[in-house]
Structure 1
Amino acid sequence: METKNVSRKITGLFWLSLLAILVTLNGCDDDDDDELWGNWVELGAFEGLPRTDAVVFVIGDYAYVGTGYNGEEDERLRDFWRYDPQYDTWKEMASLPDEAPARNGAVAFAADGKGYVGTGFDDDENKLKDFWEFDPSEGENGSWTRIPDFPGSGRYAAVAFGINDKGYVGSGYDGNRLKDFYQYDPASGQWTQKTSIGGSKRRDAVAFVLNGKGYVFTGVDNSDYVTDAWVYDPDTDVWTELKEITSGTNDDESYDDDYSIVGSKGVAFTLNGLAYITTGGTGYAGNRTWEYDPSTDLWEEKSNFEGASRTDAVAFSINNQAFVATGNSSGYYFDDVWTFYPDEEQDDND
């Protein structure tokens, strides 16, 4: 009798083991079916100090990265570096002048062949409104000239972008969350207040440009992560609301109910008529990546950012190649640089 019981136990264990193997195999098949696309490849490191909360603008075939914070108490940065994607090399350029406070949390945009940097906060956490123009053609390392101050309140964590050789700056934090919006025209050297961003006030949002229009997504208002999203038409000075970016808020059946794009301190870039948001997070450093199609106002999840999860990185695109660099997580400051190929399968050997 005891031998039969042992035999039954062995037979039962065999079938349980077989069932576990089949479940595992089915799970692997599901994972393969759900595999996300997009290949992240690490490049050579940023040559300046590791940093977070820096700015970037693109002029021609080069990106310019500067300012930020590298973890030294009460010390911000004013240096700038030019990136050449053709050779994956960096060159130090003219720093912001001594009369321009070192800063982080600033904004930047490019317009009419020049770069513009302003706002942010300095070593004493003063909220700034000064603005500076960078001319890459002046001298070997370019030069900086002060332009009229930003007309809104001094602030940090705003958004900025350039369209048709004009710059646009808005939202941010001056002690309160903001949604005001301004245009700078390099031809006249004048700022003009425009229609405020629709919906929520916000700080630490992302912005990008597609088809001559400016898009603003994500950010935080008080303790709430913003779910509304907006697109701006500079020809009409009108903001149009888009689908919200979190699950359970849209009746459209074509809308993926598993969206989880809300957050703050992420980055955005564009490639081939599509936009991407990555890193940032909701109370922690994240790595999820989402692709946006403006023709449908819909999102698709792509493979996770392959570097360490982070917030307050910089992102840019040059000649239809995208890059993400710098940032921080839990007191660690990064100087790594990554490029992204959205239509390739992730290769972990890169």
Structure 2
Amino acid sequence: MNDRIKLLVVFSFGLFSLFSLVSCSDDSDSDLVGNWIRRSDFGGPVRGFASCFVIDRKAYVVGGVAARSQRLNDIWEYNIDQGYWTQKADFPGTARSSAFAFASESNGYYGTGFDGINYYNDFWEFDPANNQWTQKADFPGAARNGVTAFYLKGTGYAGTGYSSNYFMDFYKYDPTTDKWETGVSIQGTKRAYATSFIIDDKAYVVGGWNNATYPTDFWMFDPDTQTWEQKAQIGDKTDSDFDDDYTTITRLNTVSFVINGLGYLATGETGGLNSYTWEYNPLTDRWTERTSFEGSARTAAVGFSIDNRGFVLTGVGASSTTSTSLYFDDMWEFKPRDEYNEYD
């Protein structure tokens, strides 16, 4: 079974074929706000299902899978001021894809994942100042991939995912003591391959895959109260008008980033590859469609934001002429208030 099928349905069921996927786009994109601009390519080899974190205005992309199911263990640092990539010390653990990652104020953290045969629950710290990896206390949940993770107020959180089961458990990590403890499980639907973003010290978890369905429930985590609050669902679920157009938000293997206090979703898959871009306003709890991603349609990309600039890069697409996966190394920046320009 190829990597694409394994990951599309959390590496086991093979319900979809990569080569049957087609790009989803909106014919009315010219009427939408937002513009995608291609930036300098990612410095490393093409890949999908990598992990990403940001430390001190520098982005790091680690691991993933390339052509012929080759797992990768390299890590690359992006300097946004100079616009270049630098390779750092290779990850010393087993090369893998679909691991989770988050960053504290000074270090990056990387754990779980899948190597094509085995799931993992090991957990590692990357120190960019010394360009050094150190193995830390294992993630306490079952070995898995497709985990959602984030860092809030000195604590790392990681949960959900898939191995032989879909999960909804969450665990808390204290970097100062190198200890995990059981956290509060997300409510609603179990899921794998969701995404999360942080706005005003609260985490939002959206999307994913569970038992051949795309979850529509959408949750916010408050670290002060250690509680989950359900937000408006991302499908047409009410008699009100606001969600009538919520037909292209659900997806798995999507990326998210934050610009000026608003959350964004881009790329991913919902039966086919999903290029629709949506903007979330936490003050109104409403979503607005923006200009679709202008690069090749893809899933399993990575995204990050620095200085209120949002980026999407790498990922996996499908060839329209041959039965091969396409792996990408291009990088795009989204300008949410610019007019669409197909020529930049």
Q: TM-score, normalised by structure 1?
A: 0.87
Note the residue ranges of structure 2 that are not aligned, 5 or more in a row: 1-26, 319-324
Aligned residue among 83, 89, 101 for 2:84: 89
For residue 285 of structure 1, report the CA deviation from its aligned partner. Answer: 1.3
| 8 Å Cα contact 2:153-2:223 kept in structure 1 | no
Aligned residue among 314, 317, 330 for 1:326: 314
- Separation in 2 of the partners of 1:195 and 1:50? 37
| 8 Å Cα contact 1:112-1:166 kept in structure 2 | no
- Separation in 2 of the partners of 1:251 and 1:190? 46
Is 2:139 the counterpart of 1:161?
no
2:129 corresponds to which residue? 137
- Separation in 2 of the partners of 1:316 and 1:165? 20
Q: Which amino acid aligns with 1:292?
A: Y
- Separation in 1 of the partners of 2:28 and 2:48? 34
2:203 corresponds to which residue? 214
- Separation in 2 of the partners of 1:106 and 1:135? 18
Q: Which amino acid aligns with 1:335?
A: D
2:333 corresponds to which residue? 339
For residue 287 of structure 1, report the CA deviation from its aligned partner. Answer: 0.6
Could you give the per-residue CA deviations for residues 271-301 of structure 1, whole angstroms, max 9, x where no partner exists?
Answer: 1000000111212211100000001110000
2:321 corresponds to which residue? none
2:253 corresponds to which residue? 265
Could you give the per-residue CA deviations for residues 171-218 of structure 1, whole angstroms, max 9, x where no partner exists?
Answer: 000211110001111011111111100100001111111111111111
| 8 Å Cα contact 2:56-2:105 kept in structure 1 | no
Could you give the per-residue CA deviations for residues 131-183 of structure 1, whole angstroms, max 9, x where no partner exists?
Answer: 00011111xxx100000000000000111111112211010002111100011
| 8 Å Cα contact 2:146-2:162 kept in structure 1 | yes
- Separation in 1 of the partners of 2:271 and 2:71? 23
1:3 corresponds to which residue? none
- Percent of paired sites with the same residue: 44
Aligned residue among 273, 277, 281 for 1:289: 277
Could you give the per-residue CA deviations for residues 99-149 of structure 1, whole angstroms, max 9, x where no partner exists?
Answer: x110001010001310000000124x21100000011111xxx10000000
For residue 263 of structure 1, report the CA deviation from its aligned partner. Answer: 1.2
Distance 1:35 1:209, change over 3 A: same
For residue 230 of structure 1, report the CA deviation from its aligned partner. Answer: 0.5
| 8 Å Cα contact 1:56-1:64 kept in structure 2 | yes
Higher relative contact order (CA 8 A, sep 6+): 2
1:221 is paired with a residue whose SS is coil
Q: What pairs up with 1:1-350 in 2 under 5 angstroms?
A: 35-73=31-69, 75-97=70-92, 100-123=93-116, 125-138=117-130, 142-247=131-236, 249-330=237-318, 331-350=325-344
| 8 Å Cα contact 1:112-1:186 kept in structure 2 | no
Note the residue ranges of structure 1 that are not aligned, 5 or more in a row: 1-29
Distance 1:257 1:302, change over 3 A: closer
Larger radius of gyration: 1
| 8 Å Cα contact 2:235-2:243 kept in structure 1 | no
For residue 258 of structure 1, report the CA deviation from its aligned partner. Answer: 4.0
Distance 1:48 1:31, change over 3 A: closer
Q: Which amino acid aligns with 2:89?
A: A
Q: Which amino acid aligns with 2:299?
A: T
User: Mean alpha-carbon deviation: is it higher for 49-58 or for 189-198?
Assistant: 189-198
Q: Which amino acid aligns with 1:92?
A: Q
- Separation in 1 of the partners of 2:242 and 2:118? 46
Q: Which amino acid aligns with 1:129?
A: N
RMSD over aligned Cα atoms: 1.4
- Separation in 2 of the partners of 1:228 and 1:158? 17
2:16 corresponds to which residue? none
Q: Which amino acid aligns with 2:118?
A: N
For residue 256 of structure 1, report the CA deviation from its aligned partner. Answer: 4.2
Q: Which runs of 4+ in 1 moved over 6 A?
A: none
Q: Choose between structure 1 and 2: higher helix proportion.
A: 1
2:73 is paired with a residue whose SS is strand
